[in-house]
Amino acid sequence: MCGIAGIVSLNGRPVSDGRHRVGRMIALLRHRGPDGEGVFASADGLAVIGNTLLSIVDPHRDFSVPMTTADGEAVLSFNGEIYDHEDQRTRLAGKGLRFRTRTDTEVLLQGYRLEGDAFLQRLDGFWGFAYYDSPSRHLILSRDLLGERHVFYHVTTDEIIFASEVNPILAVATSTLDLDFEAVVGAFRFRTPPPGRTIVAGVSRLLAGHNLSVDASGATGLREYRYRRLHPENWFDFFAARPSESNTVAAYEEVLHSVCSSRIPRDVHYMTSLSGGLDSAIVNLFAASGGAKRHHSLFGTSTEKPPQEGSDLDERTASRVTSEHLGTVHHEFSMIDDDCIDIYRQQCANSFDGLFCEGIVGFRQLAEQVAIHGGKVLVLADGADEFLGGYDRDRSAYLLFDQFGPAPAEPTLTGLPLAPNNGDHITGLSEGDFVNWQFVAHDPFRFRPIHGGTATEWLRRVFPTEAVVASAWSYGTIPAVYEDVVQSLDLTQRMALAYASSSLPDYFNLRLDRATSCHSVESRVPLQATALAELSIATPAWWRFGDGSTTKYLFRKIVEQHIGPRIAFRRKYGFFTPGWRHPDLAKKLAFEDLVRSSSVFGDLPFEKGARDLLLRPEEGRGRWFAYCLAATYEKLKAHDFAGVVPVREERVATRQDRHRLRPDGPPRNMGPGH
């Protein structure tokens, strides 16, 4: 987890006050990389590029950032990890390249200089980077295929400003920027703006799997283009041969072992989340078996009583049972003490990227625990729900569509689609499941992703109808680049590909990146590795849902075999309960005061009465969105772009020695509150 920043000319003239401005940007990104920082300026002044460093690979090696080639002609500002850097180093050395360090940064620098985009197509890793070639005056901004890291940028007639976060761009922009109302509407619908946008007009985000090519001489301008795509077709022959369950499970286990073990850091301490759910059990199973270090797992509780239905193990007990079975050193802590109030406030006021998701607070709290225990990497289980049908509403929409086709065109007066007369034998469905079915269509393909649950009728009470309509399909669709394979995919496979194309990069991964970076902790998500994503997308519906009565069927069979049925067949409960559901916390957050006083609801074209609607206590999620927007708008007006910083630095510092991870020491089970 590092920070990249820079300003590059677009008119052939030196960047104005470049070193000072980029230095200011780097200061705002210091939380992303406290282990080193630096600024590069080209001899002609056309490019000024900065970098902050969180040292993960070869952490004891002292090297300057941004990293330059030996001849000083090429420079790389890098945020990310290249997991197969050792294999790539060996291959490149066979082509005559020589290396000064064993860092993945140098492998990326030299490999991209030699092979260009072809080098990015072969890598196993994630990144947001800026590569500048001084002789050609050419800049490349790049973002990895699943969008685990972000690159934001602002373009004027004279320059392009880019960074890992929006705040540094706003701090040095030469003009005053305002909110993008259309993007705000999208954020209220999907909890994040449309791909490629933020809620600040003029600040864009690079699309996942894309590069932005910039000519600093001003001759050819800018060009954004896709350099890589997923290839689920690589697995079509495997599934066409109708493999047995044991062969299918074996294929998954082979890929899971590879991607999980490769994402366990060798040189620094790490922790994995272990919620008690299926996905975190999978990650811990394969991560714990793939390394020599003692494996530390982490559980946070966000409710007074752990969720539980029927005979299920509750979340805390399930987490402990899995930990004991795998032999992890298990740590537990509370996510609902008063210390979280400042975290909620900071994250709300730092929503310039447009992420209006309360879940970011939970991930930030996990990252803080990693920092408290002296770690630098948090391994998480995001991705399986999207790839393997982990959401009941997606499963239900598939079952309904598979049996009855598209929903009736005319909804009832309640706003729900008409249920088929013979549909009552599909058990376990609710009104919400029929609503999701209404959004599914095949040609062109579209569906409502799990983060798009804000009702259209509600949005129309807050925003003008035309803005609501325009926001409808920002997510839940498939890019044209996949036209050659999409006709070969069933509905569930199309859903998985749509999630991979936009929802994971621009919602789920934005949430992780912004949350964990606050504590100088790097997030890693093995279940989003390209190899596993391609296998998962190619997996037919049967292996997702079995006979239709469950979700993530294959993962359940793997967990049943290695951990046991008590964990394998539990219901899905979700990792985090938002603070606004806790009456005491909601009261202390003072939603009403800020929403009532903010001028944003008068300055932007909200519908009449929108503020009053958003102030109602029963509008929990709507009030949260309004709170994020109002807090961010007030900072934008005040030109206050100070980034989020850890609110408990003293606590982290005083507890690190006591709780520092001891990979070779005896197991220590940390009770609640630690």
The structure's pTM equals 0.93
19 and 129 part of one domain: yes
Instruction: Write down which residue in 448, 465, 493 finishes a domain.
Output: 493
217 and 241 part of one domain: no
Structure confidence at residue 670 (pLDDT):
37
In a domain? residue 364: yes
Instruction: Write down which residue in 451, 474, 493 finishes a domain.
Output: 493
Residue with tokens 């621009």: 506
Residue 579 has pLDDT above 90, yes or no: no
266 and 289 part of one domain: yes
622 and 479 part of one domain: no
Domain containing 611 equals 590-637
Residue 15 has pLDDT above 70, yes or no: yes
In a domain? residue 607: yes
220 and 202 part of one domain: yes
Taking alpha carbons only, the member of 492, 579, 515, 471 closest to residue 190 is 471
Structure confidence at residue 293 (pLDDT):
64
124 and 33 part of one domain: yes
The predicted-structure confidence for 273-282, as pLDDT tens digits, reads as follows: 999 899 999 9
Q: Which of 328-342, 366-380, 565-579 has the highest mean pLDDT?
A: 366-380
In a domain? residue 666: no
In a domain? residue 646: no
In a domain? residue 670: no
403 and 366 part of one domain: no
If one counts the domains in the chain, the total is 4
d(CA 8, CA 161): 7
d(CA 519, CA 517): 5
Residue 663 or residue 351, greater confidence? 351
d(CA 553, CA 549): 9
CATH number of the structural domain spanning residue 530:
3.40.50.620
Question: Measured in whole angstroms, how far is the alpha carbon of residue 559 from the centre of its chain?
Answer: 25
276 and 154 part of one domain: no
Structure confidence at residue 423 (pLDDT):
43
Residue 654 has pLDDT above 80, yes or no: no
Residue with tokens 């958003």: 614
The predicted-structure confidence for 61-91, as pLDDT tens digits, reads as follows: 778 999 999 999 999 999 999 999 999 999 9
CATH number of the structural domain spanning residue 204:
3.60.20.10
In a domain? residue 31: yes
The predicted-structure confidence for 189-232, as pLDDT tens digits, reads as follows: 999 999 999 999 999 999 999 999 999 988 788 999 999 999 99
Structural element, H or E, at residue 224: strand 222-226
282 and 333 part of one domain: yes
In a domain? residue 90: yes
In a domain? residue 659: no
Structure confidence at residue 40 (pLDDT):
98
34 and 61 part of one domain: yes
Structure confidence at residue 644 (pLDDT):
67
51 and 179 part of one domain: yes
619 and 510 part of one domain: no
SS3 597: helix
Torsion over CA of 569, 575, 581 and 582, rounded to 10 degrees? 110
Instruction: Write down which residue in 448, 468, 493 finishes a domain.
Output: 493
